[in-house]
Amino acid sequence: MSEMKARIEQTLTRAFAPRHLDVSDDSALHAGHAGNPDGAGETHFTVTIVADAFKNLTRIQRHRAVNKALTEEIADGVHALAIKASAPDEPASP
């Protein structure tokens, strides 16, 4: 597991106590693109998270909450973050 992926998982677990969390390191798919020009970085991730904390929040509010929780990781090189956040009683967001 990549170091950044582990950091993201730990940070989101502390912040939201998720019922489900999946963090996928998509960096290899973006080698040569902005944020990962040499293909060696841990820069592109997809997060799927289901947590009670997202109840009654809009999609934008959920994304802002995840981005805020990951402020340090973003500052340390996360270039792209796809977020699928939902509450337990609803389908996962697209």
**What's the N-to-C CA distance of the chain in angstroms?**
25
**pLDDT at residue 1 is higher than 70:** no
Quote the CA–CA distance of 39 and 78 in Å, as a whole number: 13
| Cβ atoms of 36 and 21 closer than 8 Å | no
Query: pLDDT at position 92, please?
Result: 58
Condensed to tens digits (0 to 9), the pLDDT of residues 52-62 reads 999 999 999 99
Condensed to tens digits (0 to 9), the pLDDT of residues 77-94 reads 898 899 999 999 986 555
Query: pLDDT at position 44, please?
Result: 86
**pLDDT at residue 30 is higher than 80:** no
Query: pLDDT at position 36, please?
Result: 47
Stronger pLDDT, 42 or 25, i.e. the higher one: 25
Condensed to tens digits (0 to 9), the pLDDT of residues 31-51 reads 555 544 554 567 889 999 999
| Cβ atoms of 27 and 36 closer than 8 Å | yes
Q: Which residues of 33-48 are buried (b: 16+ CB within 10 A; e: fewer)?
A: eeebeeeebbbbbebb
DSSP string over 14-58 = HHH--SEEEEEE-GGGGTTBTTBTTS-S--EEEEEEE-GGGTT--
87: how many CB neighbours lie within 10 A of its CB? 17
